[in-house]
Amino acid sequence: MKKLIFIICFLGLIANVQAQGPKGKFMLTAKTAYSFALEGVSPRGTYFGSEISYFLDRQLLLGMNFDYLEYHESGGTREIEYSQTGYWDLEGNIIKWYNFGLFTKLLFDISRFTPFVKMGFGFYVPQRPYYRFFSPDLGSYSTKITRYGKTCLGMNLGAGLQYRVWNGLCLQTEALLTTLTDRNKESNLNRNFTYANLNAGLSIIF
């Protein structure tokens, strides 16, 4: 009898959650992914993303995002003469991109399982390590220098599924496609390149 009462209460709770829309106007999301389709680089990388969005209504959100992308550049080693005593050595190193952008998200069928589409644009800043080699009379040594490159413009398009565990807590999975115009001449990539990832995240509505 106790089990039956518990099952009835549980089913009633699920029906209540499905019937109600999310309570709160803001949604904070953290997400991550580990695989990419990016031409000219290692097939695996690291991606972290964060979002804060505002519900314009029950189905339309407007938000800001900050993303981090890291991968190993391929293509061997290139050398650029720097001075009479040394040069910059551009190797297949870890390249990092930082992104700040704006997006809009459209939710369909507000319920426990909610599909959505997303579109946005942003500014991408690369960070690349360089090695400068010196050859004094007593020997040679090198120093590692990390610097930021030119800011680039990119656009992204995504679609996913959001699962509402509770009114203020959601799990989500998202496929995100990003096209980026690289303005940095030293990049091994083409001037325009596209990368994709399938990420998973957690959202809090407040």
Domain range annotation of the chain = 2-205
User: What's the confidence (pLDDT) of residue 188?
Assistant: 55
Token pair, residue 156, equals 């992204």
CATH of 2-205, one of 2.40.160.20, 2.40.110.10, 3.30.70.2190, 3.40.640.10: 2.40.160.20
User: What's the confidence (pLDDT) of residue 156?
Assistant: 95
Ranges of the chain whose pLDDT falls below 50: 4-20, 76-87, 89
Phi, psi of 95 (to 5 degrees): -105, 135
User: What's the confidence (pLDDT) of residue 75?
Assistant: 52
131, 87 in Cβ contact below 8 A? no
Phi, psi of 81 (to 5 degrees): -65, 130
Nearest Cα neighbor of 157 from 109, 101, 80 is 101
